[in-house]
Protein backbone atom coordinates (compact mmCIF):
# COMPACT_ATOMS: atom_id res chain seq x y z
CA UNK A 1 0.00 0.00 0.00
CA UNK A 2 1.43 3.37 -1.04
CA UNK A 3 1.84 6.16 1.46
CA UNK A 4 0.20 9.49 0.73
CA UNK A 5 2.43 12.22 -0.62
CA UNK A 6 3.04 15.23 1.61
CA UNK A 7 0.52 18.00 1.00
CA UNK A 8 3.15 20.46 -0.24
CA UNK A 9 4.23 17.94 -2.88
CA UNK A 10 0.62 17.39 -3.95
CA UNK A 11 0.08 21.16 -4.19
CA UNK A 12 3.20 21.50 -6.34
CA UNK A 13 1.98 18.78 -8.71
CA UNK A 14 -1.46 20.40 -8.91
CA UNK A 15 0.13 23.79 -9.61
CA UNK A 16 2.06 22.16 -12.45
CA UNK A 17 -1.22 20.76 -13.78
CA UNK A 18 -2.76 24.24 -13.65
CA UNK A 19 0.15 25.55 -15.72
CA UNK A 20 -0.47 22.84 -18.32
CA UNK A 21 -4.19 23.60 -18.32
CA UNK A 22 -3.42 27.29 -18.89
CA UNK A 23 -1.22 26.34 -21.85
CA UNK A 24 -4.00 24.15 -23.24
CA UNK A 25 -6.42 27.06 -23.00
CA UNK A 26 -4.18 29.21 -25.18
CA UNK A 27 -4.29 26.70 -28.04
CA UNK A 28 -7.92 25.56 -27.58
CA UNK A 29 -9.65 25.75 -30.95
CA UNK A 30 -13.34 25.26 -30.18
CA UNK A 31 -15.96 25.59 -27.46
CA UNK A 32 -15.73 21.90 -26.55
CA UNK A 33 -12.02 22.21 -25.76
CA UNK A 34 -12.51 25.50 -23.91
CA UNK A 35 -15.33 24.06 -21.80
CA UNK A 36 -13.31 20.92 -21.04
CA UNK A 37 -10.42 23.11 -19.89
CA UNK A 38 -12.75 25.09 -17.61
CA UNK A 39 -13.91 21.84 -16.02
CA UNK A 40 -10.34 20.61 -15.53
CA UNK A 41 -9.32 23.94 -13.99
CA UNK A 42 -12.27 23.88 -11.58
CA UNK A 43 -11.42 20.33 -10.49
CA UNK A 44 -7.72 21.07 -9.94
CA UNK A 45 -8.43 24.32 -8.08
CA UNK A 46 -11.01 22.50 -5.95
CA UNK A 47 -8.45 19.83 -5.08
CA UNK A 48 -5.90 22.47 -4.08
CA UNK A 49 -8.53 24.15 -1.90
CA UNK A 50 -9.44 20.83 -0.27
CA UNK A 51 -5.81 20.06 0.56
CA UNK A 52 -5.36 23.51 2.09
CA UNK A 53 -8.58 23.21 4.12
CA UNK A 54 -7.53 19.78 5.39
CA UNK A 55 -4.30 21.34 6.64
CA UNK A 56 -6.29 23.99 8.52
CA UNK A 57 -8.56 21.36 10.05
CA UNK A 58 -5.56 19.30 11.13
CA UNK A 59 -4.04 22.33 12.88
CA UNK A 60 -7.36 23.11 14.56
CA UNK A 61 -7.68 19.51 15.77
CA UNK A 62 -4.14 19.62 17.17
CA UNK A 63 -4.92 22.85 19.06
CA UNK A 64 -8.16 21.38 20.39
CA UNK A 65 -6.33 18.27 21.57
CA UNK A 66 -3.78 20.43 23.42
CA UNK A 67 -6.61 22.35 25.09
CA UNK A 68 -8.27 19.11 26.17
CA UNK A 69 -5.03 17.90 27.75
CA UNK A 70 -4.73 21.28 29.49
CA UNK A 71 -8.23 20.97 30.94
CA UNK A 72 -7.62 17.37 31.95
CA UNK A 73 -4.42 18.34 33.78
CA UNK A 74 -6.20 21.16 35.62
CA UNK A 75 -9.02 18.84 36.65
CA UNK A 76 -6.61 16.19 37.92
CA UNK A 77 -4.49 18.66 39.92
pLDDT value of residue 60 = 97
- pLDDT tens-digit series, residues 15-61: 999 999 999 999 999 999 999 999 999 999 999 999 999 999 999 99
- Give pLDDT, residue 2: 64
b/e sequence 13-34, b meaning 16+ C-beta within 10 Å: ebeebeeebeeeeeeeeeeeee
Span 54-73, pLDDT tens digits? 999 999 999 999 999 999 99
Domain ranges for the chain: 8-76
Question: What's the predicted TM-score (pTM) here?
Answer: 0.78
Residue-level pLDDT at 1: 57
Which residues have CB under 8 Å from 47's CB, separation 6+? 14
Amino acid sequence: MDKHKPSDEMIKELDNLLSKINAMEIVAKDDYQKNSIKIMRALVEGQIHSINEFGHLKKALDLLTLQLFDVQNKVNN
